[in-house]
Amino acid sequence: MNRFVEEKFENQHLVLDEGIFINCTFKNCSLEYSGGDVHVQNCQGEGCQLIWRGAAQRTVFLLQGLGLMTPPPAPSGANPLGRVQ
């Protein structure tokens, strides 16, 4: 696993799988997670986007279908009927 301690990530795309993040800061990052092993401890994020792939994405769909997680709001001006769910 890749280990990051007290790192500051800004305006980056990061794959979280197989990572250890301790006391890290994420600012305006896209954070991708596919359901693999990851350890996050005492980290902070600001303005970040989560990208779910693979097993993680299927888990999100399950939680949304059960009403335990709300889907993100549609972007302003978007046609909700044209969105793929």
What would the DSSP string read from start to end of 17-74? TTEEEES-EEES-EEEE-S--EEEES-EEES-EEEE-HHHHHHHHHHHHTTSSPPPPP
Confidence (pLDDT) at 85: 40
Question: Which structural domain, as residue segments, surrounds residue 24?
Answer: 2-67
**pLDDT score for 72:** 75
- Please state the domain count of the chain: 1
Question: Which pLDDT value is given to residue 77?
Answer: 62
Look at residue 32 and tell me if it is in a domain.
yes
Q: Per-residue pLDDT for the chain (85 aa), expressed as one digit of tens each?
A: 999 999 999 999 999 999 999 999 999 999 999 999 999 999 999 999 999 999 999 999 999 999 999 887 776 665 555 444 4
Q: Residue 6 and residue 49: Cα distance in Å, rounded? A: 20
11 is a domain residue: yes
Model's pTM, two decimal places? 0.79
CA dist 10 and 45 (Å) reads 10
* 9 belongs to a structural domain: yes
At 84 the pLDDT is: 45
